[in-house]
Structure formats: structure tokens, C-alpha cells
Amino acid sequence: MIDPRVSKAAEAAWKQIEDSAKEAGAAGVSVKLAAFGILFALYENIRGVSDRIDALERQQKALRYRGVHQRAETYQKNNLVTYDGGLWIALKDDPGKPGEGDGWQLVAKGAR
């Protein structure tokens, strides 16, 4: 999602372009078109960066250390637990017991 401050800045820039184009008369039309192209390219770049930031923030929130694995607990994808001396990450919701099946992946093996 684009930050509303970016939208306001783009609107203000566009108003300045329109005002300058009016002052320039007929030549202002080509100035206006060129400026529109530049603003559109900037908008597309900002939107792409904004989408990547949103995805990273969602990923960061999803990773959560839950302590030592407890059978009675319910775990979700990307939860981290300690079990049998290792650190495990849940690959799906309700992954079962670490080391059994495909619900968990060992991230770091503890020293024995």
C-alpha cells in the first residue's frame, strides 16, 4: 500500500507541473506529458518498493519463537521451537511433533 504522504507529494508536484505548463502556453503540453511520464515511472517504482516492504514486514511478524516444544500447544507456520536440543521451524500450521513427518524443519542442531 502506498503511503498517503507519497500520494500528497505527487499531487503537489503535479499541481506545480500544471501551473508551469499553463504559464508556458502551447509548449506546456509537451512539458506536461514528459512530467507525467516521469511521475508515473516514479510511482511504479515506489509501489514496487512498498509492496516489498509490506511482504518483509509480514514475514518478520510471522517468525515467532515459542520456547520449548509442548505437545498441548498449537503451532502455526513459521513458529520456532526448541526440541531435543535443536531449533525447529514449523513449515505448516499444526505441524505435529518435530522430527516426525514433514511439519517441521531443523534449523540448528544442538551440541551433544
61-84 pLDDT, tens digit each? 678 899 999 999 999 989 999 999
pLDDT of residue 108: 95
Same domain for 57 and 101?
A: no
Same domain for 57 and 77?
A: no
Q: What is the total count of domains within the chain? A: 2
Kindly report the average pLDDT of the chain as a whole number. Answer: 82
pLDDT confidence band for 44 (50 / 70 / 90): confident
> Could you tell me where the beta strands, DSSP code E, fall in 1-112?
64-68, 79-83, 86-90, 104-108
pLDDT of residue 27: 64
> 80 phi and psi, to 5 degrees?
-110, 140
> 29 phi and psi, to 5 degrees?
-65, -45
Same domain for 30 and 50?
A: yes
Same domain for 40 and 16?
A: yes
Please identify which residue in the block is written with the cell numbers 505527487.
Answer: 10
pLDDT of residue 6: 60
Q: Is the pTM of this model over 0.85?
A: no
Q: Which domain holds residue 74?
A: 63-108
Same domain for 53 and 75?
A: no
Same domain for 45 and 25?
A: yes
